[in-house]
Amino acid sequence: MKKILALVVSLVLALGVLAGCSGNNQTNSKLKAIVTISPVYDWVKNIVGDSSGVELSLLADSGVDMHSFQPTAKNITDISACDVFIYVGGESDEWVEDVLKEAVNKEMVAVNLLDALGSDAKAEELVEGMQGEEEGKEEGSEEELDEHIWLSLKNADKLCGVIADKLGAKDKDNQKLYQDNAAAYCKKLQKLDGEYAQACKAAKYDTLIFADRFPFRYLTEDYKLKYFAAFSGCSAESEASFKTLAFLADKLDEVGTNTLLIIDGSDGKIAQSVVDNAKSKDVKILTLNSMQSVLDKDASYLSVMENNLSVLKEALN
């Protein structure tokens, strides 16, 4: 599959070069920046601010989950010619390597956010009771880095500084603007991070139970929370075994919480099955937004994280 994608990329870019030689190209002095996912796009919007010198675009279309995204021919040619390309860099972005290798703009700055995190990047976990736990241990498969880096306000703070530096290096005229905007935005991130820390420290419970995929490892590590979940964050599974349902139901009873969590886009069927198998039926199902799809028009990264904090407070108390 990877070889086929590499061939498609080469073909698309070759056709793009031919089209560029036809004399129809128009020069554009704006810095072209492309971002693959919605929450990071919102960070960059805040860093760029009111600068008219940046043409910023989001790669993913509305409703597309990052795990199932495949680039179109237009996506490939746009990336190939852009000045700054910002992507997560995990398993879902394996296609990026071939696009960058064949890029037309050899001066492009490509920002791999997982690489930028360095030692702060975490491997995806298979914890007790999670479906696929035994298979993962038996196979001894290579660890994949957890892609859901934006669900940590601490990561967001660090990465916004990196992005501002990269933009400033390409656009020295606006370097100070990007630095100042990033500093102001990071203050907001730090303030919200403090509110999360305070809420988790004062909470009645320290354990979250997810009847769903679990993309919140970075968030739980930030605030020393424990968790149990049906699937890992990047799992393609959608049907839970009876063993998984029974395990989560037992944990619900054991922890004593009356809340069960799901992520945005879930139909809640697994959660309801867990409740049906628990002793207590007085359980509320709450949703945390993972921002793996494009944000709603009126939403921002900060507004979603603020809403997630409200949900977290309810779940932990």
d(CA 221, CA 169): 32
Query: Do 185 and 271 fall within a single domain?
Result: no
Higher-confidence residue of 296 and 26: namely: 296
Q: What is the pLDDT of the chain when averaged over all its residues?
A: 87
pLDDT of res. 217:
96
pLDDT of res. 91:
87
pLDDT of res. 140:
52
Which of 34, 30, 37, 78 shows the shortest CA–CA distance to 51?
30
pLDDT above 50 (res 82): yes
Task: Report which DSSP code applies to 1.
Answer: -
Phi-psi region of 255 (alpha: psi -120 to 50; beta: other; left: phi over 0): alpha
pLDDT above 80 (res 134): no
Query: pLDDT-based confidence at 209, cuts 50/70/90?
Result: very high
Q: Which residue type occupies 275? A: V
pLDDT above 90 (res 305): yes
pLDDT of res. 120:
96
Question: Where among 129, 157, 189 does a domain terminate?
Answer: 189
Query: pLDDT-based confidence at 29, cuts 50/70/90?
Result: confident
Domains: count for the chain:
2
For 80-92, give one letter per residue: b (16+ CB within 10 A) or e: bbbbbbbbbbbeb
pLDDT of res. 133:
58
Query: Do 170 and 73 fall within a single domain?
Result: yes
Would you state the structure tokens that stand for residue 130, as one six-digit string?
A: 């999670």
Query: Do 148 and 230 fall within a single domain?
Result: no
Task: Report which DSSP code applies to 119.
Answer: G
CA torsion through residues 222, 223, 224, 227, sign: negative
pLDDT above 90 (res 289): yes
pLDDT of res. 141:
57
Would you state the structure tokens that stand for residue 191, as one six-digit string?
A: 């303030």
For 271-299, give one letter per residue: b (16+ CB within 10 A) or e: bebbbebbeeeebebbbbbbbbbbbeeeb
Angle of the 242-255 helix axis to the 269-277 helix axis, nearest 10: 60
| Pick from 36-50, 115-129, 191-205, 223-237: least confident | 223-237
Would 248 be classed as within a structural domain? yes
Q: What count of other Cβ atoms lies within 10 Å of the Cβ of residue 138?
A: 8
Query: Do 237 and 290 fall within a single domain?
Result: yes
Would 124 be classed as within a structural domain? yes
Query: Do 176 and 31 fall within a single domain?
Result: yes
pLDDT above 70 (res 244): yes
- What would the mean pLDDT of 281-298 be, rounded to a whole number? 90
Beta bridge partners of 208: 227
- What would the mean pLDDT of 91-118 be, rounded to a whole number? 93
pLDDT of res. 135:
54
- What would the mean pLDDT of 148-163 be, rounded to a whole number? 98
- What would the mean pLDDT of 251-258 be, rounded to a whole number? 93
Query: Do 22 and 132 fall within a single domain?
Result: yes
pLDDT of res. 62:
57
d(CA 205, CA 312): 11
Q: What domain range includes position 96?
A: 2-189
Query: Do 82 and 165 fall within a single domain?
Result: yes
| 3-state secondary structure labels for all residues of 159-203 | HHHHHHHHHHHHCHHHHHHHHHHHHHHHHHHHHHHHHHHHHHHCC
Query: Do 109 and 172 fall within a single domain?
Result: yes
Question: Where among 156, 189, 222 does a domain terminate?
Answer: 189
Query: pLDDT-based confidence at 15, cuts 50/70/90?
Result: very low
- H or E, element range at 270: helix 269-277
246-251: list long-range contacts, CB under 8 Å, 24+ apart. 246/277, 247/129, 248/129, 248/209, 248/211, 248/274, 249/274, 249/275, 249/277, 249/278, 249/279, 250/278, 251/129, 251/207, 251/209
| Pick from 57-61, 135-139, 161-165: least confident | 135-139
- Rounded to a whole number of angstroms, the distance between the first and last alpha carbons of the chain is 47
Query: Do 219 and 297 fall within a single domain?
Result: yes
pLDDT of res. 132:
72
pLDDT of res. 143:
74
Residue 36 belongs to domain with CATH number: 3.40.50.1980
Query: Do 71 and 28 fall within a single domain?
Result: yes
